[in-house]
Structure 1
Amino acid sequence: MGLNEMTERVGVEFLHEWLLEFARVVKANKDLLTSLDAAVGDADHGINMDRGMTAVLANQEANPPGDPAGLLKQTGVTLVSSVGGASGPLYGTFFLRMATAAAEHADGLDAAAFAQALRAGIGGVVQRGKAEPGDKTMYDALAPAAQALEDALAAGAPLTDALQQAAKAADQGRDGTTGMRARKGRASYLGERSVGHQDPGATSAALLIASAAASATKIIH
């Protein structure tokens, strides 16, 4: 089951499309992500994420999961094992926690359950990376995205529109990292010199949310 306009249930079809789109935009922005990381980190974020998402799609093709939790778990395990640096454990944990939240929804998640799964994934990122708001990390894009999604759904917006709002919030959170001083990760070693640089993790996280919004629109329309 994909994302149906009547039921708005997130199933394997939608999740596969989301990951396919995320892999595409990561590849398209690989050099950007790497250049952003060169300013504050190891200059490998784009390369690592591209390698990881390529592996995710290859594993899906070779062993296609039959339910949302299985697909999310496979994605998380693949990212942990194939992405270097901090990104692998963080993104891997994100999808593994989403998988746990989706375990009771073999036939697909409704909008509220998807929002809860996304929030669970972000909780995993926080636990793994010990990130807080303003630390200049991927959390600064993910947290406002989750809040915007939940607020839009609570106001009665369909999931497609709610995800568009989430993507806008993620972009704003990403942009906000430029003026922050890094307090986590390798960028924190730079101190004040980290100010003025957009965070690469927040940038890829914003791409993740934008990919979900684009994929929902594609599946429905």
Structure 2
Amino acid sequence: MKVTSEDFLYYFKQVVEVMETERDYLCELDRKLGDGDHGVTMTIGWRAVNEKLNNELANETDLGKISSVVGMTFLNAVGSSVGPLYASGFINGAKIVKGKSEVNDAELTEYWLAFINGIKDRGKAQVGDKTIIDTIDPAAKALETSFTQSQDFLSAFNDAVLAGEKGMKSTKDLISKIGRSSRLGERSRGVQDPGATSAYMILETFLKVVKVKNS
């Protein structure tokens, strides 16, 4: 399949809407583990991205520039630890698609693997720490394995999102080991991690966009 710069711009717009819709839910999760502001933080970051989508990026066709501007804009708008994580992801992904106005299955796979690796390299957390990594690491492994076998991005990314969902849900049973919530110890068990949840939403939204495009 071919995914264009226009598709990516539409995708990022959809993420803006998802974060607005899910803001209170993400805050509710975070109230049980931290400051209770994760939903607000995500909407602040994505509203800033939306401004760029409506202005500077409105007619942009270079996928590399789109992805890097999204990453830097999110970083500049968000002061919390999540800012550098997503900035690293989108800027790392931008290197794969620099100068391209459309990408094929293999390039899409490389883009999302680079996105996830960028976050992992920045965050230094491990699977089981009850963080964003519990969603994105299994998603990356499923994407790579599935695409190697099928050479079909849509089916591989579907597998990735399913693996990410399983990882996200697994955080309910984990004790937080990193960040403010780690101070809760055993009390952090029983609540789904908000960062793992918003990361899943970002992946799931892309899957929905490419499914519609391919239908």
- Aligned partners of 2:130 and 2:178 also within 8 Å: yes
Unaligned runs of 5+ in 1: 1-7
2:26 maps to which residue? 33
Which residue identity does 1:41 align to in structure 2? G
Of 195-204 and 156-165, deviating more is 156-165
Which amino acid is the alignment partner of residue 18 of structure 2? V
* Higher alpha-carbon deviation: 202-211 or 187-196: 187-196
Match of 1:203 in 2: 197
Which residues of 2 match residues 88-99 of structure 1 at below 5 A?
A: 88-99=83-94
1:21 to 14, 25, 40: 14
The reply to whether residue 155 of structure 1 matches residue 149 of structure 2 is yes
User: What's the Cα RMSD here?
Assistant: 1.5
Q: Tell me whether 1:165 sits opposite 2:124 in the alignment.
A: no
User: What does residue 109 of structure 1 align with?
Assistant: 103
Q: Could you list the per-position Cα deviations for residues 119-139 of structure 1 after superposition, in whole angstroms to 9, with x for gaps in the alignment? A: 222222122211111111111
CA offsets per residue over residues 54-79 of structure 1, 9 Å max, x none? 11121011012321101000100010
Choose the corresponding residue for 2:113, options 103, 114, 119: 119
Task: Report how many residues are paired.
Answer: 213
TM-score by length of 2: 0.93
> What's the secondary structure of 1:43's corresponding residue?
coil
Residue in 1 that maps onto 2:184: 190
Deviates more, 1:70-79 or 1:94-103: 94-103
Task: Say yes or no: does 1:135 pair with 2:123.
Answer: no
Alignment match, 1:179: 173
Q: Which segments of 5 or more consecutive residues in structure 2 lack a partner in the other structure?
A: none
Alpha-carbon contact 1:45-1:87 (below 8 Å) kept: no
Aligned mates of 2:30, 2:126 — CA distance in 1: 20
Q: Would you say the 8 A contact 1:38–1:44 is kept in 2?
A: yes
**Which string of whole-angstrom CA distances, capped at 9 and with x for unpartnered residues, describes residues 21-61 of structure 1?**
21111111110101111111111110110111111121011
Counterparts of 1:184 and 1:101, CA distance in 2: 30
* Aligned position for 2:62: 67
For 1:207 and 1:162, the matched residues in 2 are separated by 17
- Give the deviation of 1:19 after TM superposition: 1.1
Letter of the 2:75 counterpart:
V
Query: Are positions 1:87 and 2:91 aligned together?
Result: no
Secondary structure at 2:72's aligned position in 1? helix
**1:126-160, Cα deviation, whole Å (9 max, x unpaired):** 22211111111111101111222222222226322
- Per the alignment, residue 52 of structure 1 pairs with 45
Residue 145 of structure 2 is aligned to residue 145 of structure 1? no
Distance, in Å, in 2 between the alignment partners of 1:40 and 1:182 is 9
Aligned to 1:3: none
Which 4+ stretches in 1 moved above 4 angstroms? none
